[in-house]
Chains A and B, each alone.
Chain A
Amino acid sequence: MTRFLSMLCGLTATLAMTFAMANTIAPNDVTIENLGIAESLTGVAGDPAEGRKIFMSKKLGNCLACHANKDMADQQFHGEIGPSLDGVASRWKAEQLRTIVVNAKAVFTDLTVMPGFYSLDVGANIREDLIGKTILSAQQVEDVVAYLATLK
């Protein structure tokens, strides 16, 4: 029974993934209107718990390197390069938060130092193994955006 269940779960997960892949918008196909990206990049709802982990992780978003965030008061060392993200969901709509994470330059102009997490508009001499790759995957962006939406 347990075995059957886990098989079933596995199957659902695979299906979900295939679904996600098929509907994923490629970095260069993302459309920005009025500073917003209206559609989910994957069609799969973001997972805020996952997004919270990505926000903290030095290997993934590392957002904490630049942004303070009271929701992570247990973490040492919050950066000060960008503004504190407390209450950020009251300042920006979800579709604008998506744009900021995808390509902050589209909102804050080329002058911003915030990296574009789902953009191929990168700096010179990019590391060879990273050519054509984005910092976060489309689903990871959706997870982070879902997490940011909880910061009211």
Chain B
Amino acid sequence: MNKALITSTMLLTGASLLASLGLQATPVDDALVIDGELEITTQVKAPEGHALKELYSGWRYRTDETRAIEADSFENPGMLGVEQGEEIWNTVEGSEGKSCASCHDDAAVSMKGVGAQYPKWDADGNKPINIELQINKCRVENMGAEAYKFDKGGQKPLTAYIKHQSIGMPVTVDLSQGDMQKWWEAGKETYYLRTGQLNMSCASCHEKNQGKYIRADHLSQGQVNGFPTYRLKQNKLISLHNRFRGCIRDTRAEFPAAFSDTLMGLEVYTTWRGTGLSVETPAVRQ
């Protein structure tokens, strides 16, 4: 059968069903401009070697209401977390009597662009490092404070604050540093590995079926450019590794520890899969 015919028939049945439910399939055609001034790139051509041709931010798959909340920084509840992060940035902690600001001054200057370029290679640790782990490194090595436990203490708000300084800037990951390419490859394997009793991989949902509904959920490309994101369903900021673990758990599999080598590889790879999309932190999702 003619491929166009199949597609249009599928679109027809899908669209009529969705219209009856008041839902919209495939990424919506809409532009994100925050507070009427900051333009966010939510669609971009994929880098070479990518399984998808066109990349879309998860924002393009959300409802009109959810998209409107992200477009207005006063309405965006994630901004409260960012403000909390700013307080932590300026708070002295640990035996050295220092805050983040003691070394880095004004984050609007020193952290601009930083969040858009992580994860990056950490020669000391001989592995990739993300913002959360860089914060812990500074706390231990420069402040004489304890490392934050996963998702605890100020980890989410401070990460959101730092990433927010790069809002609107394109995500890039430098694979030429250290062994980044190897971690990218390991991450790719994880991405395509079918797991659990349901026997599904990230690609089963976010590559093969992006744009379709799985029950009430509109499947996006699983892009990571908005993390930590504010999830309306859970009423709080959600970290990237929490989201990874949740998606793997949903396949009825054992899930790896946060910041484990497996999930760090996955972060390197999925960040690359969103190359060129703007940082949206704190994005708003359902």
Interface residues of A (CB under 8 A from B): 58, 62, 64-66, 68, 76-81, 84, 113, 115-116, 121-128, 130, 133, 135
Contact = CB atoms under 8 A, between A and B. Distances in A.
Interface in B177-224: 193-201, 204-205, 208-209, 212-216
Given A84-B13, A115-B197, A116-B199, A127 B214 contact: no
14 contacts: A64-B215, A76-B216, A81-B214, A84-B13, A113-B200, A115-B200, A116-B199, A123-B197, A123-B200, A124-B196, A125-B253, A126-B253, A126-B254, A135-B197
Contacts of B21: 76-77
A78 B217 CA distance: 10
B101 interface: no
B253 A113 contact: no
Contacts of A58: 215
B196 A126 contact: yes
Q: Which 6 A-B pairs give the minimum distances between C-beta atoms? A: A123-B199, A77-B216, A123-B194, A65-B215, A123-B195, A80-B212
Interface string B156-196: 00000000000000000000000000000000000001111
B25 interface: yes
B25 A130 contact: no
Count class of interface residues, chain B: 20 to 34
B42 to A, nearest CB: 22
A57 B198 CA distance: 16
A121 B110 CA distance: 52
Contact of B195 (A76, A78, A125, A128): A125
A113 B204 contact: yes
A80 B25 contact: yes
A123 B198 contact: yes
Given A80-B14, A84-B13, A113-B200, A124 B215 contact: no
Contacts of A130: 196-197, 252
A77 B196 contact: no
A10 to B, nearest CB: 33
Given A78-B17, A122-B196, A127 B254 contact: yes
